[in-house]
Amino acid sequence: MPKSIPVDPTTTRQPGRLRGVDIPLHAYDVPLASELAARGATALIEAYRHMLILRAFESGIASLKTRGSYGDLTYAYKGPAHLSIGQEAAAVGAAMALHPSDHIYGSHRSHSEFLAKGLAAIGATGDNGLISIMEGHGALLRAVEAHLPGDDLRARAENFLALGFLAEIFMRTTGFNGGMGGSMHAFFPPFGAYPNNAIVGASAGIATGAALWMKREAREAIAVSMVGDGATGCGPVWEAMNFAGQGQFRSLWDAKGGLPVLFFFTNNFYAMGGQTSGETMAWDRLARIGAGLNAEAFHAETVDGTNPLAVAGAVTRQRAHLLAGRGPALLDVECYRSTGHSTTDVNAYRDKAELAAWAELDPLVTFPAALVEAGVLAPEAPGAMKAVVEARMQAVFRAAADPEISPPVDVAGDPTLIGRKMFSHRTTPPEALAPAPLVAPERTRRLRQIGKKSRAGRDEGGATLSPLKAITLRDGLFEAMLHHMLRDPRLMIYGEECRDWGGAFGVTGGLAELFPHDRVFNAPISEAAIVATAIGAAIEGARPVVELMYADFIGRAGDEIFNQMAKWQAMSDGALSLPMVLRCSVGSKYGAQHSQDWTALTAHMPGLKVVYPATPYDAKGLMSEAITLDDPVVFFESQRLYDRVELFEAEVPAEAYRIEFGAPALRRAGSDVTILTIGPSLYPALEAADTLAADGVEAEVIDARTLVPFDYAPVIASLEKTGRLLVVSEACERGSFAMTLAGNLTRFAFGHLKAPPRVLGSPNWIVPGADMEESYFPQVGDILDAVRIDLMGAPDHRRAGVRNWDDQALARAGL
């Protein structure tokens, strides 16, 4: 593949100066008369009415939290309340400029943004569209029809929006997310309101991924990251902004143009109690960060977030930039949260003079006053409108609190109800054909080379073939990915070097010859953004297969994997599916930060399927299954196994096949001891089994293959025969998945056991350098010792391995 962008020293070494572009601050100067002429009186009055709804909604929650009542409703709301009172103009202004097809991704403080987007979408959607959307939530619609019918379809739709949202905040079954999301996670895709997020800044990466897929699909739409000023202190937000601004979208992709994502920072000057400008951030004005991102400064502007029309104008300008391919864009929308971070916040960090100064700028005061002054509203109209809205919201609150109208989630009656929402276990075939590859696959070097290889791992005499002569685990992974890339247009592969380099370990080598940049691309060294964007793209319909070069880098994407990838299917009550595969290669020989098996971290987290194949046949079949499933999968690959050829199946079929997750594989039959292995531990276990057989001890070796899900039945059946269990894994023993397996099997098969099960993992210290690795990862000798001494009861056996230590003494020492 020819290099596309030369690094020419004569250019890079030219003296000169970098100059930034000017960033406008509060540049809005459109007279209200002009806005009135351009937008019409109705739009301006609607903007005020929408702000009233937002204010009443938030005030109602504030009242419940602080007084336990709202109007004539008494209700003890136990959940969070990060309210946006004072910020309504920012939310309504943005929504005025967005289209129903644009998607917002919010924060913990996004009630107003959600409602504003929904209200605007209701205004912009036809009757049939609204009916169809509401019928999608039949139980909620019936509750609205019975108790909050409204005067017309629009009013009914608004009540549907408010009740669906509030019932969700109250975690009721009729909530938009079935009560699984709540205040900080609620969303409703039909109105373009995508997940709010309780993790500060998390939506930046997810919205960027949404924009990535919108660009791929050439949609006439934008994604909006709606997070606060405090989020500019979060690394993943910077990763997201850099990812969004990558030069390749304009230089290397066939459809040239930046990502259509707007980073809309609702800047209320505080991140909880810390003051952003002047105290906790380096920037003085938030918009300044645009200057550090690209030559256009992301078209950054600081906008008056107390005026919905100033915000609407700015969002309209940015949207035009984005749809013209000039993205990304950034807005610093200054507004003021007039109540606390949450209802337990006593405002110790703000003084009364400041609160009073901003109270004068309260959009619920200034905007109706301006409308009255311009003659758009009669002087008594704002008060009358407010009374109507408040009465309506009180009715919504009563309906949301009433268990007859908004039934609570019955976890007592159905104890595994929530558990069943973690995975869909579904597959959704592609609706369209994938675009033809750039060249016929069989003409590429990789395919020619694979084509010459033996599909079997042994020759006719039974000798193991060289990895140059037989299909390897690396080839199996490649073939599975290639198969689906050729057939499924939703697939998108990216990672830090997966294009020309073919992945640091050559797994994706050859794909760059076959697919353009919008299907296979190099990502920046931004693990958080790699995972977050895959989540966003998956939410929007893609099936990303993304790569972390080492499993050790999971930490860099911790929130994205553990809180986002793992949870959105359940938190959405199944409305979202996250068909993504996160490939993590497990290293070796590179010491403490590049050689760790972190399967236990991901298996611990509810909502992730976790796979760790040890053979080429399994790697291919499990990868195909991972890609096909609608659920999120973390796919571990051992670097030590990439060159392994197939030793168990007759051959690795050339055609695609899928291996269902959950079934461990019997690798060697035996009657005296069961050795259950995770990942590469299979091979030393098999060697140990051969040695044991020479002593007359027959070991049964079972390869776990997948950790989540896992079917214990075959292992229990094995223990019925053997009564002895050794679980071997390369993870540190403490807290490992091997411990989980051993613990559960002790319970499930207790009656069959002749000895306490034993876990053999790595010791609870750092992975040492290459020359010392054999002292660390379980070796054949260590397995022999565990079987002979711990399971077969031969304490005077001469040790073959190095683990001659007292586990209890180590534990006392923190090891």
Applying CB under 8 A, which of residues 506, 541, 555, 662 lies at the interface with other proteins?
506
- Single out the residue of 746, 738, 724 nearest to residue 793, CA to CA: 724
* Shortest spacing between CB 680 and other proteins, in angstroms: 16
322 within 8 A of 261, measured Cβ to Cβ: yes
Applying CB under 8 A, which of residues 99, 154, 285, 469 lies at the interface with other proteins?
469
Geometric angle at alpha carbon 203, from 198 and 205, rounded to 5°: 135
The SS3 assignment for 581 reads strand
Give the residue with the Cβ less far from other proteins, 32 or 504.
504
**CA 753 to mean position of chain CA atoms:** 41
Rounded to whole angstroms, the Cα distance separating 708 from 499 reads 30
The answer to whether 452 contacts other proteins (rule: CB under 8 A) is: yes
For residue 787, what is the DSSP state?
Answer: I
Rounded to whole angstroms, the Cα distance separating 145 from 223 reads 32
The answer to whether 457 contacts other proteins (rule: CB under 8 A) is: no
**99 among known catalytic residues:** no
Piece of the chain touching other proteins by CB under 8 A; list 202-210, 463-471, 572-580, 752-760: 463-471
The pattern of x and - marking residues 509 through 528 that bind other proteins according to CB under 8 A reads xx------------------
* Shortest spacing between CB 762 and other proteins, in angstroms: 21
Applying CB under 8 A, which of residues 472, 577, 596, 736 lies at the interface with other proteins?
472
For residue 771, what is the DSSP state?
Answer: G
The pattern of x and - marking residues 635 through 664 that bind other proteins according to CB under 8 A reads -------xx---------------------
* Shortest spacing between CB 526 and other proteins, in angstroms: 24
Rounded to whole angstroms, the Cα distance separating 660 from 662 reads 7
Give the residue with the Cβ less far from other proteins, 518 or 643.
643
Give the residue with the Cβ less far from other proteins, 118 or 509.
509
Give the residue with the Cβ less far from other proteins, 398 or 446.
446
* Total site size for other proteins, rule CB under 8 A: 18
Site for other proteins in 132-171 (CB under 8 A): none
* Shortest spacing between CB 773 and other proteins, in angstroms: 13
**CA 735 to mean position of chain CA atoms:** 24
Applying CB under 8 A, which of residues 344, 466, 593, 671 lies at the interface with other proteins?
466
Residue 135, class by beta-carbon neighbours within 10 Å (0-12 exposed, 13-18 middle, 19+ buried)? exposed
Give 627-662 as a DSSP string.
HHBSS-EEEEEEGGGTTPBPSSSS---SS-----TT
* Shortest spacing between CB 483 and other proteins, in angstroms: 20
- Please, which residues have CB within 8 angstroms of residue 217's CB and are 6 or more apart in sequence? 540, 541
Rounded to whole angstroms, the Cα distance separating 621 from 641 reads 16
Angle between helices 88-97 and 41-67 (to 10 degrees): 140
Give the residue with the Cβ less far from other proteins, 461 or 696.
461
The answer to whether 474 contacts other proteins (rule: CB under 8 A) is: yes
193 within 8 A of 204, measured Cβ to Cβ: no
The answer to whether 328 contacts other proteins (rule: CB under 8 A) is: no
Give the residue with the Cβ less far from other proteins, 1 or 30.
1
* Shortest spacing between CB 175 and other proteins, in angstroms: 51
Piece of the chain touching other proteins by CB under 8 A; list 135-143, 228-236, 460-468, 779-787: 460-468
- Strand ranges of the sheet holding 725-732, from the earlier edge strand across to the other edge: 665-668, 699-703, 673-677, 725-732, 758-762
Site for other proteins in 419-448 (CB under 8 A): 445-446, 448
* Shortest spacing between CB 640 and other proteins, in angstroms: 11
**CA 493 to mean position of chain CA atoms:** 16
SS3 string of 88-109? HHHHHHHHHHCCCCCEEECCCC
- Please, which residues have CB within 8 angstroms of residue 492's CB and are 6 or more apart in sequence? 212, 213, 216, 518, 519, 520, 537, 542, 543, 544, 545
265 within 8 A of 217, measured Cβ to Cβ: no
The answer to whether 243 contacts other proteins (rule: CB under 8 A) is: no
Give the residue with the Cβ less far from other proteins, 469 or 803.
469
Which of 594, 604, 752, 797 is catalytic? The answer is: 594
Q: In angstroms, what is the C-alpha Rg of the chain?
A: 30
The answer to whether 467 contacts other proteins (rule: CB under 8 A) is: yes
Applying CB under 8 A, which of residues 305, 313, 457, 502 lies at the interface with other proteins?
502
Applying CB under 8 A, which of residues 194, 249, 494, 505 lies at the interface with other proteins?
505
Give the residue with the Cβ less far from other proteins, 756 or 769.
769
**CA 648 to mean position of chain CA atoms:** 36
The answer to whether 468 contacts other proteins (rule: CB under 8 A) is: yes
Give the residue with the Cβ less far from other proteins, 467 or 761.
467
* Shortest spacing between CB 474 and other proteins, in angstroms: 7
* Shortest spacing between CB 504 and other proteins, in angstroms: 9
Rounded to whole angstroms, the Cα distance separating 338 from 340 reads 7
Task: Give catalytic residue positions.
Answer: 594
Binding site for other proteins (CB under 8 A): 445-446, 448-449, 452, 466-469, 472, 474, 502, 505-506, 509-510, 642-643
